Amino acid sequence: MTSPLPSAADPSVLDLAPVLPVVVLADAADAVPLARALVAGGLPAIEVTLRTPAALEAIRAIAGEVPDAVVGAGTVVTPQQVDAVTAAGARFLVSPGWTEALLTAMRASGVPFLPGVSTASEVVALLERGVREMKFFPAQAAGGTAYLRSLAGPLPQARFCPTGGIGPATAPEYLSLPNVGCVGGSWMVPADAVADRDWGRIEELARAAAGLRDAGGTCR
């Protein structure tokens, strides 16, 4: 990430676990038990996407009540959202893409951020601006592991969290790449389990996802 977590000794968000859960919540009341299940399963970094009206309150609840979680905001696309989510307690930011205005706001926020890229030109543009860690999105549609492997040679200083179309079967191949720190995905938080408030099932799925580090991943 481009700026440190609250303690300089803390690792990058890319290094906390092999998988970054991408969470969509319709009810903020589910945020805390969901976050506790993910943390118990070994996935402390949690991306709550700004796709529902409940997202800000969910971030605020996790930040205030689940101290072992590192909660971040996803689908951040405007400077105004940057201000709102950091005020709610988000400890990192994730965007599907970037503009100069958004990048400036994310940098000024003082928290780590992953701007989204899908082309070599976008990666080079961010490297020119001092950004080394990025979200590769939409990963499968944008070329998948073959594309990322091709980027590793000419642009070895860039590290990625690929997200989009990745599941437990494909995650290990991504994690085996030298320029991938972790992958983003939602398979450990299936909509039916959230709707049923089946936190035990989510904890089990999170534990399996956390174990992908031992299935060929290199999440350093």
Active-site position among 47, 133, 173, 203: 47
Cα angle 90, 105, 184 (rounded to 5 degrees) comes to 50
Q: Does 100 participate in catalysis according to the annotation? A: no
Is 48 in contact with 21 (CB distance < 8 Å)? no
Q: Does 47 participate in catalysis according to the annotation? A: yes
Active-site position among 65, 100, 135, 203: 135
User: What's the CA dihedral at 155, 164, 8, 39 to 10 degrees?
Assistant: -150
Token pair in block for residue 198: 């089946």
Q: From CA 171, how far away is CA 13, in angstroms rounded?
A: 17
Kindly provide the residue ranges of all beta strands, DSSP E only, lying in 86-189, ordered along the sequence.
Answer: 93-94, 113-114, 116-117, 133-136, 159-162, 183-185
Give the active site residues. 47, 135
